[in-house]
Amino acid sequence: MAELGKKYCVYCLADVTSLRLRCTECQDIELCPECFSAGAEIGNHRRWHGYQLVDGGRFTLWGPEAEGGWTSREEQLLLDAIEQYGFGNWEDMAAHVGARAPPEVMEHYVSMYIHGNLGRACIPDSIPNRVTDHTCPSGAPLSPSLTTPLPPLDISAAEQQQLGYMPLRDDYEIEYLQDAETLISGLALNYDDEEVDIELKRAHVDMYVRQLRERQRRKNMARDYSLVPAFLGRERKERAPRRKVTKEERELRAKLRPICQFLSAREFDDCFDNLHKERALRAKIRELQRYRRNGIAKTEESAEYEAARHRRERRKEVRGNGGAGATANAGGNAANSAAAKRPKDETGPAEFSSAMENLAGFDLLSEREKVLCGSLNLSPGRYLTVKTIIIKDYLQKRQGIPSKSRLPSYLDKVLKKRILNFLTESGWIARDTS
């Protein structure tokens, strides 16, 4: 008669009392998970028929060889209890599961969900800010993780007095929230306390514990970021002279300041160095792209190109300084003379319209070309187009290929003459081209 309550697979006759799959189209067709996954068919039953999972709650998740014989229903209650009561409250978890003792609940959860295959697959070996188990071992008043102090700071006796640091206690004379102990100093449990009084006292204790945690967090942050040696100036003396920090680096550090609390000092420095390297690489990539747009495909060609560009700029500077010096000798005022010789519609680099800095092609211009575009009120893109057409026609004429300039319609005779003179003086084209 004991066999009447059991269910068997209609295909392999295995015991499926705890878990089986029932066909919703055929009558009295119940299969075990192995036969169902293999697509077993019997009689009018086909593998594509609808099915229903019948869970008796008595099968084990870890197999019959697992110790304790925990059923799926108990496993579900255990996971609900760990979410509701938290890790370590084994008494409440055992009461929630039912017929399991607290040591048995703790051993099963630790062995299966933490140290077992599931824990090894889900919990990495190195976790930042890993939760430390502060539960007290048997017979000990406090956990070793709480009683073992951190190593004292390596500072001299004079520096300890200056900072108010007590190395044997790893403590400071003035703590964060120095009067935090006043929250619990006057608390006492009385036999006639009402529920409201007890909850109020618990709230005070909770406030005090939160402040202690904040104290410890600040101490750990001071150690991680080496704030004590920085305050005493020892690191500045021992560290080699550092290079001057640029304005861009200061701005980048200011932008990264909100993430300082999530990284240690070394991690933050590494992050900043990597971002600085990224900026340098991006600038190098833009420079290489500029070389490619100018037809340069080799490193030695880029060096020759930069040398030629610097020679052209130096010749113009020497020519400009010579003219300005002659005018200064004649008039006695070099700045006024240079301004007098400058055309009225030409503006200097300081007076260049800031709106053009955001236009495409602005970074491809030299300083003198920027001045020229500002004086002609010509956008960088249009100037580069005219410059390309003129130089291309010049090269074709040198090779004996007849060419006809097809300059844009926005370029009148005055602008064309100014650009031709500029290219001739800069050495881009020969002087007989006009």
Backbone angles phi, psi at 232, to 5 degrees: -85, -10
In the prediction, which pLDDT does 115 show? 84
pLDDT digits (tens, 9 = 90+) for 113-148: 888 888 877 777 666 656 666 666 655 555 565 566
In the prediction, which pLDDT does 58 show? 65
**How many CB atoms lie under 10 A from the CB of residue 30?**
20
In the prediction, which pLDDT does 321 show? 66
Q: Which two tokens stand for residue 118?
A: 């599931």
Q: What is the DSSP letter of 8?
A: B
In the prediction, which pLDDT does 241 show? 56
Are 34 and 19 in contact by the 8 Å Cβ rule? The answer is no
Beta bridge partners of 122: none
Domain boundaries along the sequence of the chain: 2-55, 154-236, 243-291, 299-341, 343-434
Q: How far apart are CA 143 and CA 190, in angstroms?
A: 29
In the prediction, which pLDDT does 128 show? 60
Q: How far apart are CA 81 and CA 70, in angstroms?
A: 15
In the prediction, which pLDDT does 269 show? 80
In the prediction, which pLDDT does 64 show? 58
What is the largest distance, in Å, between two alpha-carbon atoms of the chain?
A: 129
Q: How far apart are CA 73 and CA 81, in angstroms?
A: 12
Which stretches in the chain have pLDDT values below 70? 1-5, 56-59, 62-68, 125-150, 230-243, 245, 321-356, 358, 403-406, 409, 431-434
CATH of 343-434, one of 1.10.10, 1.20.1050, 3.40.50, 3.30.70: 1.10.10
386-409 in b/e burial notation, b at 16+ Cβ within 10 A? bbebbeebbeeeeeeeeeeeeeee
Q: How far apart are CA 29 and CA 54, in angstroms?
A: 12
Whose structure tokens read 């295909």? Answer: 11
Give the CATH H-level superfamily of domain 2-55: Zinc finger, ZZ-type (3.30.60.90)
Helix (H, G, I), strand (E, B) or coil at 15: strand
pLDDT digits (tens, 9 = 90+) for 333-387: 433 333 333 443 344 444 445 566 767 777 788 888 888 887 777 888 888 888 8
Please state, in angstroms and as integers, the Cα–Cα distance from residue 299 to each residue in 253, 285, 290, 310, 365, following that order.
34, 13, 13, 17, 21
Q: Which two tokens stand for residue 244?
A: 């001057």
In the prediction, which pLDDT does 146 show? 57
pTM exceeds 0.85, yes or no: no
**How many CB atoms lie under 10 A from the CB of residue 279?**
12
